[in-house]
Amino acid sequence: MKKYNTAFYLILIYVIMQLSGIVFAPLIFDLLMKQDGMEIQQAKLMASGWWVFISMAVATLISVFIIRKNKSFLNNLKGKQSSIGASIGWGVVGFFMVLFGQALAAFIENALGIDPGSENTAAFIKIADAAPVAILSIAIFAPILEELIFRRVIFGSLVQKTNFFIAGAVSAIVFAIIHFDFTHILLYAVSGFIFAFLYYKTRRIMTSIISHMLLNGFVVLVQLNADNIERYQKYLETLSNSQ
């Protein structure tokens, strides 16, 4: 019963975090608008960035505190856990697995006529560019919270009553839906399924968290430096053509 209480509290914290923006983001926006020279659009992005940072940081701290009160919560999967070193290694390998999986999903989407580029990702990049503190939320807090909810709670509960493929598919679909980018639901679902595999493979949630952190950090790094990367590519093309 204690593990179910912990799962319920984690879900409740996650839901409250998602809804907290209705109240707190406008308050932050009002504070920012009191500053001289602050443009409305800039204030909206900064307010969103600070809300994302504060809400996710608080939710992560509370979630960790709750889990520490129930130390058996993270040891729910049957089977021997991989060593810490192996779990970290799989976390790094998993990052490349997710990149490959997303590339395959993007290829399928393109074949179906779906334009590349996630609106959800683009929105977060704009927020991170306006309020860099949000990068911590995207690369650190979000992976921890999402892995606890979608892998430990949803997948971890279902896999004991069904099997890996059913539990992995359900948790991956829910993970994709919660991002509210339905055009690219396949992209998110593939990532979620691979994260579930990593968790199941090592029996340690830290593995999927590491992969998730690396993925989000990589995406943010690439997106924020897209202009520089494009200029460098053109520079290389110039050098190639001059030879």
> Is the pLDDT reported for residue 75 higher than 60?
yes
184 is catalytic: no
Contact 6, 70 (CB under 8 A): yes
Q: Which residues contact 222 (CB under 8 A, 6 or more apart)?
A: 229
Torsion of CA 205, 210, 215, 220, to 10 degrees: 120
pLDDT, tens digit (0-9, with 9 covering 90-100), for 10-31: 999 999 999 998 888 899 998 8
| Active-site option among 146, 147, 184, 212 | 146
Which of 225, 62, 84 has its CA nearest to residue 141? 62
Tell me, what's the pLDDT at 172? 96
> Is the pLDDT reported for residue 239 higher than 80?
no
pLDDT, tens digit (0-9, with 9 covering 90-100), for 40-64: 888 899 999 999 999 999 999 999 9
Tell me, what's the pLDDT at 123? 82
| Active-site option among 39, 109, 147, 179 | 179
- DSSP codes joined into one string, 194-207: HHHHHHHHHS-HHH
- Where do the H-state alpha helices sit in 84-184? 84-111, 119-130, 134-136, 142-146, 156-158, 164-177
Q: Which residues contact 206 (CB under 8 A, 6 or more apart)?
A: 84, 87, 88, 91
- Which whole number is the average pLDDT over 170-178? 95
Q: Give the span between the Cα atoms of 209 and 121, in whole angstroms.
A: 19
> Is the pLDDT reported for residue 241 higher than 70?
no
Contact 118, 180 (CB under 8 A): no
Share of the chain above pLDDT 90, in %: 62
Output the average pLDDT for the chain.
89
Predicted TM-score (pTM) of this structure: 0.90
pLDDT, tens digit (0-9, with 9 covering 90-100), for 189-209: 999 999 999 999 999 999 999
Q: Give the span between the Cα atoms of 160 and 213, in whole angstroms.
A: 26
146 is catalytic: yes
Tell me, what's the pLDDT at 180? 84
Show me where the domains of the chain are located.
2-242
User: Model confidence at 103, in pLDDT bands (50, 70, 90)?
Assistant: very high
Q: Which residues contact 66 (CB under 8 A, 6 or more apart)?
A: 6, 9, 10, 13
Tell me, what's the pLDDT at 224? 83
